[in-house]
Amino acid sequence: MAEEAKKIVSGKKRKVDKWKKKTWFTIIAPKEFAGKEIGTTVAEKPENLLGRTIWVSVRDLAAQARKQHVTIIFKIFDVKGNKAFAKAAGHFILERK
């Protein structure tokens, strides 16, 4: 009976935790923004990052509290090691009342 129990336990498929396969990447702004770190993201493969977008407020990017209504959109175009490099892809301005 103990042998049957071992067979049943060993016959189960183990579930693989998808998070353990993923790696953290640091997103870097272009040199126009002093190559600052603008965020982090997680991906299983570096090529999965290409084309991802990140929105960053100018308040956070340039430490200018008066510019918090301006947001710049960055798009990842290259990955080297654990660094993902982004370029500016657009912007928008929130209406101030």
For residue 7, tell me if it sits in a domain.
Answer: no
Does 73 fall in a domain? yes
Could you tell me the residue range of the domain that residue 34 belongs to? 16-93
Reported pTM: 0.77
Q: Evaluate the CA torsion angle 36, 38, 44, 47 in order and state its sign.
A: negative
**35 found inside a domain:** yes
What's residue 11's pLDDT?
A: 58
Give percent of the chain with pLDDT exceeding 70.
Answer: 85
Please say whether the beta carbons of 10 and 69 come within 8 A.
Answer: no
pLDDT of residue 81: 94
Q: How many domains does the chain have?
A: 1
Helix boundaries (H) for the chain: 2-10, 18-21, 58-62
| DSSP conformation class of 68 | T
Residue 40 maps to a domain: yes
Structure confidence by residue, pLDDT tens digits, 7-44: 555 556 777 777 788 999 999 999 999 999 999 999 99
Q: So what's the pLDDT on residue 47?
A: 93
Rg, the chain, Cα only = 22
